[in-house]
A and B are shown apart, each in its own frame.
Chain A
Amino acid sequence: MQLTINGTPRAITAAPPAERLPAELGLDPRAVVVELNREIIRRPALAATPVLDGDVVEIVHFVGGG
């Protein structure tokens, strides 16, 4: 399955729900927010949201800023 994650094409073998995507990428799920095809996936909806072939995913967190 081909996804675009944070602007980079990426092949994922299984089709996880959005909830498992951060962990599969080695990220702390509590520290990030997932946007799927420009829609923010609210935390309670993460488990029930499938990630499909061709989806555009953004995963963001807080960094230092002014």
Chain B
Amino acid sequence: MLEIGGATFGSRLMVGTGKYRSNAEMIEAIEASGAEIVTVAVRRVSLDRRDESGILHHLSPERYFLLSNTAGCYTADEAIRYARLAREAGFNDFVKLEVIGDKETLLPDTAGLLEATRVLAAEGFKVLAYTNDDLITALRLEDAGAVAVMPLASPIGSGLGLLNPYFIRTIKARLTVPIIVDAGVGTASDACLVMEQGVDGILMNTALAEADEPVRMARAMRLAVEAGREAYLAGRMPRREVAVPSSPTAGMLG
């Protein structure tokens, strides 16, 4: 079981709802992933036509734990504004806090992120803070009141996989709150490798939405997350630079 901010979840895989080719495909992929936590974004409604872009037309808040994000926010003030709107629109006090610092890499503005985490935690929000793979920022986010820290595997939407397993392991070893790796996984082996570092969970969107077959990839990711978690708990054998035979060396024919 995974516990975040007093809530418990059976699945360690969380998924986003952006960029799918159709809502039907999105729903089927989320089902196949086994995810309980599903992220959503806050945006203006369209006034020009009958608006069907609202995700609640398609996604039941009774069935999924909707985690709103502050994606697209570039300052602490902006992210705080979006978090407050999301809480009023939503169903819980949880927010996936993003304060982005750069349009090209979408890397976080860690100063703004820390400031927004402090403000929102003081207002009773359960903050899951999207950050880079820097230990010091992660420690400060925990001190600022984040209920989970979400270091990236690699930049959002890049599919580059886990670029720094050592930093992710270090963050996991040093923090008390759950570590959920967010962003950058491209395929199942990436997710498995992330979970093998011992982190508590993983959040992904593009790896599913942009797969040729999102539903099949969602199934693969569910299995990869379970496999990686089991392998971590099992404890891997040591790496050796020499071969060690698996069959007996005694009893060979003379």
Contact = CB atoms under 8 A, between A and B. Distances in A.
B54 A40 contact: no
Query: What secondary structure prevails in chain B residues at the interface with A?
Result: mixed
Interface string B129-173: 000000000000000000000000000110000000000000000
A61 B39 contact: no
A63 B43 contact: yes
A28 B52 CA distance: 11
Interface in B3-30: 16-20, 26
A35 B26 CA distance: 30
B18 A26 contact: no
19 contacts: A6-B44, A6-B47, A27-B45, A31-B56, A33-B88, A40-B84, A42-B88, A59-B47, A61-B56, A62-B56, A62-B89, A62-B90, A63-B53, A63-B54, A65-B41, A65-B69, A65-B205, A66-B16, A66-B205
Given A40-B84, A42-B88, A62 B42 contact: yes
The 6 closest A-B pairs by CB, nearest first: A65-B41, A66-B16, A66-B205, A64-B17, A62-B40, A33-B89
B41 A62 contact: yes
Interface of B: 16-20, 26, 39-45, 47, 50-51, 53-56, 66, 68-69, 71, 81, 84-86, 88-90, 156-157, 183, 203-206
B211 to A, nearest CB: 14
Given A6-B44, A32-B45, A62 B55 contact: yes
Interface of A: 5-8, 10, 25-28, 31-33, 35, 38, 40, 42-43, 58-66
